[in-house]
Amino acid sequence: MKTLGPSDTAASAAARVEPAAATDLSAPARMAQGRGTTAARIEFANTLRGVAAMSVIFAHLGNTFWHWPKLVEWLTGIAWVPAKPSTFSYIVPSTLGSWGVSLFFVISGFVIPYSLERYSVKGFLIGRLWRIWPTCWVGLSITVASVLIGVHIMGGAVPFTFRDAITHFFPPFASIADSQQIDSVMWTLEIEMFFYIVCAFAAARLRDGHWTLWLYPVGILALWAGVDLIVAYAQADHPVLVRRLTYFDLDPPYIAFMFCGVALNLYQRGKLGLPGAVVAIAAFWSLFALTQNYGHMAAKSSASLFAAGLAVFIACMAAQRWFGRVRILRFFSDISYPIYIIHGVAGYVMLHAMMRAGWNSDVATTFVIAFMIGLAWLVHRFVEQPTHRIGQRYARRFSKGIE
């Protein structure tokens, strides 16, 4: 099973929409004004970040641990001890995680163009690195420490090398370095980082909405098609090459899917009309579906689940005027990135230990989810918030004079 999880996506910063600079409103500007683009936060997207993060944590700790023992053993290096499944495992569908990831990807596609309106390309990239890497370092340190402690106490073998671990601390270098995955969510963060690079190259087109913007995802899919052919027909003769191309066979279709969120952003800003947005969304979802149905990747996603995530986002976008600042929703939105990075492997190790100690499975699952939420808040408060503020300062410093 592919466990899906940003990305700030899960890891994207909450977007602010800048007020229009022009006093004479063109037709697109009037459309944007009519759709409520103000200098306030886009609360519906912010709310959905929290929903997506909690969907992933419930899927992993409420379902995956209990029904995918081989995957859990592979990630933790600890032998899975049979136990009565948690009630959560019968309530929470295994597909909830994939749905949450699809929502993260649409959110990222939607909010990142706002950052490129506010910052220069250099400022944007510096801000993104400060936004992603420090929290990633803490989250992965928790993952690595959990495995080392778990294997020491419960037996087993550490399932990754030092090289595997260190490359994951600097996404997307793990994919470039051909490293083995050490958790179940970092691959999505690598996709996020590749998406940022694409957006940096396409910054001018993202700002003005020119039709040439769509050449970028089309070009990415063309590159993917070539890689996929190599993966399909070179496995026997060139297994090392095929292994090194694994990430580049997996990642590009998701980047193309994220352009559905970009189309919605352009529509929201009045730079793309409704017919154009509909055509773009239908085209890139259809292309994504084709890659998942006919590609030769070792792991694939359900195009229908991704359509469901996209549909929920569109429905909430249509109803965005009814979204307000609700404290509990804001809380889960704020901790969405750290909880996404932290919960998986560390949560599996804790559940391993509790099952060996004879805990009730429902109590153990509830406790671990609550513990991860509390730990994520601490990381958000003492790591994510201060480093994000530093990143914003640097981004503004390198963006002076941008219009």
pLDDT tens digits for 286-314? 999 999 999 999 889 999 999 999 999 99
What pLDDT, on the 0 to 100 scale, is given for residue 257? 98
Lowest-confidence range among 167-171, 242-246, 247-251?
A: 242-246
Query: Which residues contact residue 172 at a Cβ distance below 8 angstroms, ignoring those fewer than 6 apart?
Result: 189, 190, 191, 193, 194
Lowest-confidence range among 164-173, 212-221, 382-391?
A: 164-173
What pLDDT, on the 0 to 100 scale, is given for residue 52? 96
Who wins on pLDDT, 22 or 248?
Answer: 248
Averaged pLDDT for residues 155-176: 92
DSSP one-letter code for 19: P
DSSP one-letter code for 299: S
Q: Is the pLDDT of residue 335 over 90?
A: yes
Averaged pLDDT for residues 89-102: 94
Averaged pLDDT for residues 218-235: 93
Do 147 and 76 form a contact (C-beta atoms < 8 A)? Answer: yes
Q: Which amino acid is at 50?
A: G
Do 160 and 83 form a contact (C-beta atoms < 8 A)? Answer: no
Residue whose C-alpha is closest to residue 88's, from 116, 115, 111, 59 = 59
Considering the entire predicted model, what is its pTM? 0.88
Q: What's the Cα-to-Cα distance from 208 to each of 54, 116, 205, 341, rounded to whole Å?
A: 34, 11, 5, 34
Q: Is the pLDDT of residue 377 over 60?
A: yes
Which of the four pLDDT bands, split at 50, 70 and 90, describes residue 189? very high
Q: Is the pLDDT of residue 258 over 60?
A: yes
What pLDDT, on the 0 to 100 scale, is given for residue 40? 47
Q: Is the pLDDT of residue 224 over 70?
A: yes
Q: Which tokens hold the place of 123?
A: 């400022």
Q: Which amino acid is at 233?
A: Y
The enclosing H or E element of 330 equals helix 327-334
Do 45 and 144 form a contact (C-beta atoms < 8 A)? Answer: no
* Alpha-carbon span 313 to 184, nearest angstrom: 24
For residue 336, the tally of other CB atoms under 10 A from its CB is 33
Do 340 and 5 form a contact (C-beta atoms < 8 A)? Answer: yes
Cα torsion 43, 47, 50, 56: sign:
negative
DSSP string, 197-259: HHHHHTHHHHHH--GGGGHHHHHHHHHHHHHHHHHHHSTTT-HHHHHHTHHHHHSHHHHHHHH
Do 274 and 317 form a contact (C-beta atoms < 8 A)? Answer: no
Lowest-confidence range among 35-44, 145-154, 166-175, 287-296?
A: 35-44
What pLDDT, on the 0 to 100 scale, is given for residue 270? 95
What pLDDT, on the 0 to 100 scale, is given for residue 24? 37
Averaged pLDDT for residues 16-45: 44
What pLDDT, on the 0 to 100 scale, is given for residue 13? 32
Q: What's the Cα-to-Cα distance from 162 to each of 76, 140, 145, 166, 174, rounded to whole Å?
A: 15, 13, 12, 6, 12
Q: What's the Cα-to-Cα distance from 330 to each of 58, 127, 152, 334, rounded to whole Å?
A: 18, 22, 38, 6
What is the chain's mean pLDDT, rounded?
A: 88
Polymer length of the chain: 403
Who wins on pLDDT, 113 or 8?
Answer: 113
Provide the β-strand partners of residue 8. Answer: 10, 11
Cα torsion 88, 91, 94, 96: sign:
negative
φ and ψ at residue 12, rounded to 5 degrees: -75, 145
102's torsion region: left (phi>0), alpha (psi -120 to 50) or beta? Answer: alpha
Q: Is the pLDDT of residue 193 over 60?
A: yes
What pLDDT, on the 0 to 100 scale, is given for residue 9? 36
CA geometry: angle 314, 315, 316, nearest 5 deg: 90
What pLDDT, on the 0 to 100 scale, is given for residue 245? 87
φ and ψ at residue 3, rounded to 5 degrees: -90, 125
What pLDDT, on the 0 to 100 scale, is given for residue 37? 43
Query: Which residues contact residue 324 at a Cβ distance below 8 angstroms, ignoring those fewer than 6 apart?
Result: 43
What pLDDT, on the 0 to 100 scale, is given for residue 29? 38
Residue whose C-alpha is closest to residue 113's, from 278, 262, 258, 10 = 262
What pLDDT, on the 0 to 100 scale, is given for residue 246? 85
Share of the chain above pLDDT 70, in %: 89
3-class state of residue 41 by DSSP = strand
Query: Which residues contact residue 354 at a Cβ distance below 8 angstroms, ignoring those fewer than 6 apart?
Result: 364, 367, 368
Which of the four pLDDT bands, split at 50, 70 and 90, describes residue 237? confident
Query: Which residues contact residue 122 at a Cβ distance below 8 angstroms, ignoring those fewer than 6 apart?
Result: 398, 399
Share of the chain above pLDDT 90, in %: 76
Q: Which tokens hold the place of 139?
A: 């989250």
